[in-house]
Structure formats: C-alpha cells, structure tokens
Structure 1
Amino acid sequence: LAAVAALAAGCCSCRSYQKKNRRPLVGTEWQLIQLGGKAVKPEEGKFTLTFLAEENRIAGIGACNRIMGRYEATEKGALKIGPLASTMMVCPGMEQEDAFTKALESTTHYDMDGPMLLLL
C-alpha cells in the first residue's frame, strides 16, 4: 500500500530517536508534510489534523478552512475518516486542500514511523 498522506509531529532523521519518540494517534497535532507522494511546501499552507478522543472526532486546518469530522481507528491500524465537513472560505491553495480532504476520506489504514503518521 502506498501512503496517501504523511503527517509529522516533529521531524528527525535519526532512526533510534524515531523508534523511542512515537506519538500517540489521539491528542497529537499532526502537520501534513507529504500528499500523494509529493512534499507539501510551506507556502501552500500549514495543514494540520488532530484526532480527539471525545466522540472520536477529528479537527484540522486546510489552506484556509477548518476541517472537522469523525474517525474510527483500531490498534491493528485500520482507520476510517469521515464524513468530513469544512468551512467554505476561498483562498489560494484550494486544490491542495481538496486533495487533502479527499485523501483523508479515502484512508483505510494508518501506520506510525517514529514521529510520522502515515495514512494509507
């Protein structure tokens, strides 16, 4: 399976650091660093996603809109996100934001690689 999105809670190239510093899925603010195999550039916006324990909700920010919805996750790595809703502002970076929400809604699994969350 190929990752549709990679999100990071902090970056370090040191493999031993990554193994010891895995972040929990819930309660961590994840920042999008890669989407569809391409790095997200800082000028494209700070896309974030947080999984909240309360009622299995997610909250995030796209190029300029707030994203919200629900998720279901298992300890074995299954993950379903959606349906999602968002505010409706128009701004530069909307194509990237649309791709982000579509990737989230098409996610079926997740994996952790140190401080990185891979959505598959």
Structure 2
Amino acid sequence: MKKLLYFLLLLSLIVACKSTAGKTSDTKNTTSEYGTQEDQMKYYFTGTGNEPFWGVKMGSENIEFTSLISGKEKLIFPATEAIKAMDANVKMYKVTNETSTATITIQQLECQNSMSGAISPYKVAVEIKNNTELTAAKLSGCGNYNTDYRLHDIWVLEELNGFKVFLTDFQKELPRIEINSTENKFMGYGGCNAISGSIFYEKDLLRFSKVISTMMACASGNKEDQFIKALQNTTSYSIGDNRLTLSNPSGKLLVFRKVD
C-alpha cells in the first residue's frame, strides 16, 4: 500500500512539472525583442536601444517612451502625424507633453542591435529632453513595424477589379492567399499556379512583393495574370465583416473572404 501511495505521489509531481514547463514555454512564445504580443497589437512600431537602455512604442492613440535615464523613466505623448521626407523612407515625429519634448526619426535602413547582434529593417533616432533642460539627450537604436495580426489568416478571392469572380474565371478553384503576419510572408493559389512571396508592412501601407509562381500553362481566359497584377499593385487594405479589401490610390482592387 505504501509503495502504491509513493508511486501515485511521484506520478502527480511529474505531471505538475510538465504542466508548469508547458506554461513557461507558452509565455515565451508571446514575447519578442520588440515586446509582448499584446503590445504588438496596440502599437504599430516598436524601437529599442542600448547604453542607456531605452524603448519607444508608437501607437494610434499615444507614443510611449521608457528609459533608464533619470527623469525620463516613462513618458507618454499624444500620437501625432509623421513628417515624411520627399526622397527617402524617413518619418519624423515631433511630440510634446506637460513635462517633455521629443523628436523621433524612423528610417528604413538595416540596423544591428549593439548587444544582441539582431538585424532590424529600421534605424531609430530619438532626441528627448525635459522642458526645463537646455539640451536634449540623443539616442539611437533599431526598430520594427508590427504587422497587423488580423491579416494572419487564409483568404479566398471574391472580387477582382470591381467584379465578382466565378470558378469559370480560373482553372479549378478560386485564388486564395494565406498570410503569415509573423514572418511577413504569404503563399497560396493564383487560379492556375501556386504562388508565394513577401509582404511589406508599415502603418497604413501594405505591399505584396517578390511574387513567384509555378510555371503551369493556364487555360485560355484564365484571370490569374489579372489577379497577380492586382496583388502587386496593392498599397492599402481594410478588414471588416470577415473580408479583406486590397486597394491603391486608383481604387479597390481585390476583395477576399476569410475562410479559416
């Protein structure tokens, strides 16, 4: 009897340890160099720097700056529109609150973290000072846009260039794309061939690039070429009512229905 009780106790401890280990792993999966998954849903851009450690999170409602600098441990600024450079992908944000003023510059330029060695696609510069100070602290670091998590799904085409699509417009089935917002990649079916590529995401900007496809010959009248061209011409999007609408300044290009 004692041996049986000892065995049951040992078994319960093993199960408990496995359960705890699983929870720890799940927690790690929701955190990255640029913050938790919740942060990445709330903020469209996150930047970090070292020596001294600092971070900035850009959101539609506010901009949050944190650091180890005395008097600047945590500052909240109201969101503002970017000042954009004419000849380069550079955005500048000038923000102020009751106590402090900052200028935040985001430049599309490969950037390496000075401690971890991780490579990011954007360089970030921050000049920040309390309103009682004469000179601003100048900080530099790296950053990344947090791709809209709502894109992460499987989408089947409903409309192409303003017209509803039918199976007869394609080979066997309607075109579809599966977007991986974590890796900024997509794959799918163009209506005749398998397709894949990358997505480029910034606030209010979405592009499908580096599109490649298999080389299967398509039947006459197949609209795959029109579909891929519209995909490549996309610059903006909207999501609502289980639909993904892709557009550019000329108008609506594609409408997809969520199927996953």
Tell me if TM exceeds 0.5.
yes
CA RMSD of aligned residues (A): 1.9
Corresponding residue of 2:181: 53
- Is the CA contact (8 Å cut-off) linking 1:47 and 1:60 kept in structure 2? yes
What letter corresponds to residue 204 of structure 2 in structure 1? Answer: G
Task: From 92, 104, 109, give the equivalent of 2:236.
Answer: 109
Note the residue ranges of structure 1 that are not aligned, 5 or more in a row: 1-22
The SS at the match of 1:55 is coil
Aligned-pair distance for 1:93? 6.1
Higher strand share: 2
Higher-RCO chain (CA-CA 8 Å, sequence separation at least 6): 1
User: Which residue is equivalent to 1:32?
Assistant: 157
TM-score (norm 1): 0.72
Contact 1:64-1:91 within 8 A present in 2 as well: yes
Q: Is the 8 A contact 1:72 1:80 kept in 2?
A: yes
For 1:96, the equivalent position in structure 2 comes to 223
Paired AA for residue 97 in structure 1: E
SS in 2 for 1:24: helix
**Within 1, Cα distance between the matches of 2:210 and 2:165?**
24
- Residue type of the alignment partner of 1:69: G
Rounded to whole Å, the distance in 2 between the matches of 1:52 and 1:36 is 24
Q: Counterparts of 1:37 and 1:56 in 2: how far apart (Å)?
A: 27
Structure 2 residue ranges without an equivalent (≥5) = 1-148, 248-260
State the 1:112 CA deviation. 1.0
Q: TM-score, normalised by structure 2?
A: 0.35
Aligned to 1:12: none
Distance in 2 separating the partners of 1:118 and 1:99: 16
Which residue, 164, 168, 174 being the options, matches 1:43?
168
Amino acid at match of 1:85: I
Aligned structure 1 segments of 4 or more residues deviating by more than 4 angstroms: none
CA contact (8 A) 1:65 1:87 kept: yes
Distance across 2 between alignment mates of 1:97 and 1:90:
11
Q: For residue 209 of structure 2, what is the aligned residue in structure 1?
A: 82
Letter in 2 for 1:110: Y
Secondary structure of the residue that 2:223 maps to in structure 1?
helix
Q: Does residue 67 of the first structure (1) align with residue 195 of the second (2)? A: yes
